[in-house]
A = this chain, B = another copy of it.
Amino acid sequence: MKERTERFGVSMESSLLKKLDAFIAGKGYSNRSEAIRDFVRANLVEQEWGENKEVVGTVTLIYDHHALELPKKLTDLQHHFHKEIISTTHIHLDEHNCLEILALKGQGARVKKIADRLIAAKGVKHGKLVMSTTGKELV
């Protein structure tokens, strides 16, 4: 069953509204409501991580798979944290460089800790955590 949708009015100066419409067109949003719902959700997801609820995160890693012991270390870490790591995608960028993307689900502070450990591993050239959401509390 689909959730009930409400409609409310927003007042905005003509010139600001014009700029909003240009912004929306540039990004490819289908309409104002969709853009505004996105602004709202982005702010809410940020809060979820502060409150340490169950969250979803992804970790992007770039590394040279020839780096001494790194593949083994990454595998060990992933097994150690297997409860939170729900998937790993590995892409061969070129002869040396790998892109590895991990999906994690768990309590916020724990997911941050795991991301820290992966990113700090010797041989990882670049690493970043995306703090996202299980989507459960967001429509």
Contacts and interface: CB of A to CB of B under 8 A. Distances in A.
Interface centre among A29, A34, A139 (most CB of B within 10 A): A139
A78 to B, nearest CB: 14
A56 B47 contact: no
Given A62-B133, A126-B42, A17 B27 contact: no
Interface string A108-137: 000000001101111011101011111111
A43 B58 CA distance: 21
Interface in A1-49: 3-17, 19-20, 23, 26-30, 32-45, 47
B128 A38 contact: no
Contacts of A35: 120
B45 A139 contact: no
A27 B139 contact: no
B101 A101 contact: yes
